[in-house]
Amino acid sequence: MNKIESQHNTPSTDDERHVRTVLQILPSLNGGGVERGAIEIAAALKNEGWIPIVVSSGGIMEHELTRMGVRHITLPVASKNPVVMRRNVTRLRDIIKQHNVDIVHARSRAPAWSAMKAARKESCHFVTTFHAAYTRGGFLKNYYNSVMAKGEKVIAISDFIARHIRENYEVAESQVVTIPRGVDCRKFNPAAISAERIIKMASDWQLPDGVPVIMLPGRLTRLKGHTAFIEALAKLENDNFLALMVGSTDGREAYCEELSDLVRSRNLEGKVQIKGHCDDMAVALMLSDVVVSATTVPEGFGRVAVEAQAMGRPVVATAHGGSMETILDGETGWLIPVDDSDAIAAALTAAINMTSEQREAVATLSRQHVMEKFDIETMCSATLKVYSDLLSR
């Protein structure tokens, strides 16, 4: 029984049979760039008349797929347990057969191993996306990482990642496709933010009037550089600010307590607040005066910096990874050394002290820069072209 018949129980022509189904698989949906990218591609597939399916262990962003009418299937694909991973192969094979999946697109290592084996057994196309430059180690570590280079097409989310792939894995030149991440410039648009949304979030977060807001978005993990950020705040000569660390704790209560202790020890109580997951980051960025990305390891792309620029906000970011491609140093933000609290403090001081004319010029250039190079429509169309090219073989 072909795809249309199995879903609608009606006769179909050969052309109708080719309504394509793409299954994306990732560990969870608890916030982050990998999750956001999967949701955006699912929406693009649906808009183009394809059938998107997302497989993960679930999470707080699952409702976004439900709202779009995209099927989500919950499996324990975040697990690195070999027994669970083998079982996932069988589960995924059943899903592929049940939904007539044409392409399996893996976005992380643990689920990629199960997805690759299931796709090969069911003669599906297999695509991977490298979202990070995975740390190299011994044989087992490198072998575990290598699954992300085994796609028929391997999507790199930046030139930085593409270089990492070519330098560390055996891949054909034609196998790697660089598709920079995209931002929805309609959603992340100051003109699209109503006063009511701004007032509501400012009230919910109890933001004081007339106080510069410094924001570090991103899930609360040690890799995001919160410690250097707090140390930098303690060095600011002008203490008229409010710093917000916005992102999912994802079960890292011990780390949150560690950060709270550091805040208290630096006499920053009341000036630094930890916020949880935010469903409306466009408004959150709108409320900020400067946005910080203090990652201690190179990020593959660095969505935070791009979303902030789309909202016309100046950015302070560490000078490595994808940030080197997304920020115009000295024009849309400041690129500073890794784990350098003095440099962060200096950049924050410069950002806070900008005149209204300087701030307006930065906002205009930042948004133009993102719209020209990192718009979501470009990312989605390039990804769907990868899918189409595979299916036309």
| pLDDT, tens only, 243-252 | 999 988 777 8
Q: Is the pLDDT assigned to residue 3 strictly greater than 60?
A: no
User: Which residues does residue 275 pair with via DSSP β-bridges, in sequence order?
Assistant: 246
Contacts of residue 328, defined as CB under 8 A and 6 or more positions apart, other chains included, come to 365, 369
Residues 178, 52 share a domain: yes
Q: Where are the beta strands (DSSP E) in the chain?
A: 21-25, 51-56, 71-74, 103-106, 125-130, 153-156, 176-178, 213-217, 242-246, 272-275, 290-293, 315-318, 333-336
Phi and psi angles of residue 14, each rounded to the nearest 5 degrees, phi first: -60, -35
Residues 257, 167 share a domain: no
Pairing of strands 153-156, 176-178: parallel
Range list of H helices, 146-280: 159-168, 195-204, 226-234, 253-265
Q: Which amino acid is at 270?
A: G
In the three-class reduction of DSSP (H, G, I as helix; E, B as strand; rest coil), residue 275 is classed as strand
The mean-pLDDT minimum among 12-16, 82-86, 328-332, 372-376 falls in: 12-16
Q: Is the pLDDT assigned to residue 391 strictly greater than 80?
A: yes
Residues 168, 282 share a domain: no
Q: Is the pLDDT assigned to residue 29 strictly greater than 80?
A: yes
Q: What is the mean pLDDT of the chain?
A: 92
Residues 220, 275 share a domain: yes
Residues 68, 34 share a domain: yes
| pLDDT, average across residues 251-273 | 92
| pLDDT, tens only, 296-318 | 999 999 999 999 999 999 999 99
Residues 162, 297 share a domain: no
Residues 153, 90 share a domain: yes
Q: Is the pLDDT assigned to residue 48 strictly greater than 90?
A: yes
Residues 19, 94 share a domain: yes
Q: Which DSSP string corresponds to 19-62?
A: --EEEEE-S--SSSHHHHHHHHHHHHHHHTT-EEEEEES--TTH
CATH number at residue 363: 3.40.50.2000
Q: What is the pLDDT of residue 17?
A: 54
Domain count along the chain: 2
Q: Which domain holds residue 136?
A: 3-182+375-391
| pLDDT, average across residues 183-203 | 94
Closest to 329 in 3D by CA, of 237, 337, 30: 337
| pLDDT, average across residues 53-72 | 95
Residues 241, 285 share a domain: yes
Residues 234, 171 share a domain: no
Residues 269, 145 share a domain: no
Residues 223, 360 share a domain: yes
Q: Which long-range contacts (CB under 8 A, 24 or more apart) does 377-382 make?
A: 377/182, 378/180, 378/182, 379/37, 379/40, 379/179, 379/180, 379/181, 379/182, 380/40, 380/41, 380/44, 380/182, 381/44, 382/177, 382/179
